[in-house]
Amino acid sequence: MRTDVAIIGAGPAGMLLGHLLLQAGVQAVVIERRDRAYVEGRVRAGVLEQTTVGLLERLGLDERLRREGLVHHGTNLVHDGRMFRVDMHALTGGASVTVYGQQEVMHDLFEAAEARALPVIFDAEETRLHDVTSASPSVVWRREGIETRLDCDFVVGCDGYHGVSRASLPPDVLRTFERVYPFGWLGILADVPPANHELIYANHERGFALASMRSATRSRYYIQCAADETIAAWPDQRFWDELAHRLGPEAGSAVVRGPSFEKTIAPLRSFVTEPMRHGRLFLAGDAAHIVPPTGAKGLNLAAADVAVLSDALVAFYHDGSESGLTGYSDRALARVWKAERFSWWFTGITHRFPEMDGFARRMQVAELAYIEQSRAAQTALAENYVGLPL
């Protein structure tokens, strides 16, 4: 087999890149270790920045998003039981975010791949990359006992933290930076109306809470929990009681309770790989970086990576220019580190850390009180929340 670009991983980064290249007339094949149902069914992010929405619009994949997505012009913060709103739309010159779950994004990407004949190979096992520093790299995998080799000009690793792509970088080339947080997020999905038409981020002395949603009738709620917590320790009644307590009187009283149909615990970490290119191998999305979910940057960073990389690849095939490919890693990392900084900062002012003493707690409260009273502070938060420019 032969193609221009081999894409490893059919998550948001890989599928968006495949569609962007297909639209520009560049051949690409997407290779995925799991089946479609598994990839599409993963519950992940639900808040899309304007740049991500614009990317889906550019690909003609925004019809259902425009119909079913929930546009948010602001977000809410709670401290000491008091809630205040940050008007992102007014503070950023009209920017907004859209609540539309990653599962829905993936469904749209896969449906369009079938309709547009974008090749996606599922259930590819034992994937290996070869000769990525040469002019003729290749990808080999096994499916149903048959080994297949794909020759290409470039390989793009969009296969996540545990994928083969980042592991293919030599140790003397790879630099990694990591911060593991000493807590997790216990999250539930329930078919009940959300507590507010916009998200609520709550800082409470007993820990963080987030009131979110997937639709006007389906709510997504989270509370901070210990890193070694178990789901069995949190029956629905206990979860609802703790959530309402942490959200405070105003927001907590608006919570509609009901049976959860999904309950998960997610660890929090920050992780960055440098560089994001080695020879003709490029990394994008979770293969190169992970952010804590505070601020919902994961999927959006993946989309930003492939927006930059697709332009560089298209320029190479259309004009013979390699400048975009040469500059990809530095350009992508500049935005990645800004998003890491925002997610680290937002996590830091909203969560309870095990080592926090009275002084550190007062600093959190003072920071939130300052944001509440300062237009400049709210503007900085809003600019980062809606997404920095590419």
pLDDT at 44 over 80: no
Pick the catalytic residue: 100, 201, 221, 328? 201
pLDDT at 17 over 80: yes
Q: List the chain domain ranges.
A: 5-70+99-177+269-346, 181-268+352-386
**Separation CA 286–CA 161 (nearest Å):** 6
Active site residue 297: yes
Per-residue model confidence (pLDDT) at position 118: 98
Please give the distance of CA 17 from its chain centroid, rounded to a whole number: 15
In 3D space, the residue among 282, 277, 300, 280 whose CA is nearest the CA of residue 290 turns out to be 300
As to burial, measured by CB atoms within 10 angstroms (0-12 exposed, 13-18 middle, 19+ buried), residue 93 is: exposed
The strand pairing partners of 75, in sequence order, are: 86
Q: One fold for both 5-70+99-177+269-346 and 181-268+352-386?
A: no
Taking only the tens place, the pLDDT of each residue in 299-330 is 999 999 999 999 999 999 999 999 999 999 99
Taking only the tens place, the pLDDT of each residue in 350-360 is 999 999 999 99
* Mean of all residue pLDDT scores within the chain: 97
In 3D space, the residue among 207, 175, 196 whose CA is nearest the CA of residue 250 turns out to be 196
Per-residue model confidence (pLDDT) at position 6: 98
pLDDT at 264 over 90: yes
**Separation CA 14–CA 285 (nearest Å):** 8
Instruction: Find the range with the poorest average confidence among 42-56, 121-135, 139-153, 352-366.
Output: 42-56
Q: 5-70+99-177+269-346 belongs to which CATH class? A: alpha beta
Pick the catalytic residue: 12, 194, 292, 293? 293
Pick the catalytic residue: 19, 72, 79, 278? 72
Is residue 89 within 8 Å of residue 96, measured between CB atoms? yes
Taking only the tens place, the pLDDT of each residue in 167-200 is 999 999 999 999 999 999 999 999 999 999 999 9
What is the average pLDDT across 130-139?
97
Per-residue model confidence (pLDDT) at position 281: 98
The strand pairing partners of 31, in sequence order, are: 8, 121
Per-residue model confidence (pLDDT) at position 45: 73
CB count in 10 Å sphere of residue 180: 10
H-type helices in 170-216, by residue range? Answer: none
Taking only the tens place, the pLDDT of each residue in 201-238 is 999 999 999 999 999 999 999 999 999 999 999 999 99
Which helix H or strand E contains 330, and what residues bound it? Answer: helix 323-350
Active site residue 119: no
Pick the catalytic residue: 181, 221, 222, 385? 385
Per-residue model confidence (pLDDT) at position 76: 98
Residue 42: band (very low, low, confident or very high) from pLDDT cuts 50, 70, 90: confident
What is the average pLDDT across 274-291?
98
Pick the catalytic residue: 19, 79, 278, 297? 297
- State pTM to two decimals: 0.96
Matching residue, tokens 């909203």: 350
Two structure tokens written together for 1: 């087999």
The pairing of beta strand 75-79 with beta strand 200-203: parallel
Per-residue model confidence (pLDDT) at position 390: 87
Q: 181-268+352-386 belongs to which CATH class? A: alpha beta
Active site residue 170: no
What is the average pLDDT across 51-76?
97
The count of C-alpha atoms lying within 13 angstroms of the C-alpha of 229, restricted to the half-sphere facing its C-beta, is: 21
Per-residue model confidence (pLDDT) at position 195: 97
Taking only the tens place, the pLDDT of each residue in 86-98 is 999 999 999 999 9
Taking only the tens place, the pLDDT of each residue in 145-160 is 999 999 999 999 999 9
pLDDT at 295 over 90: no
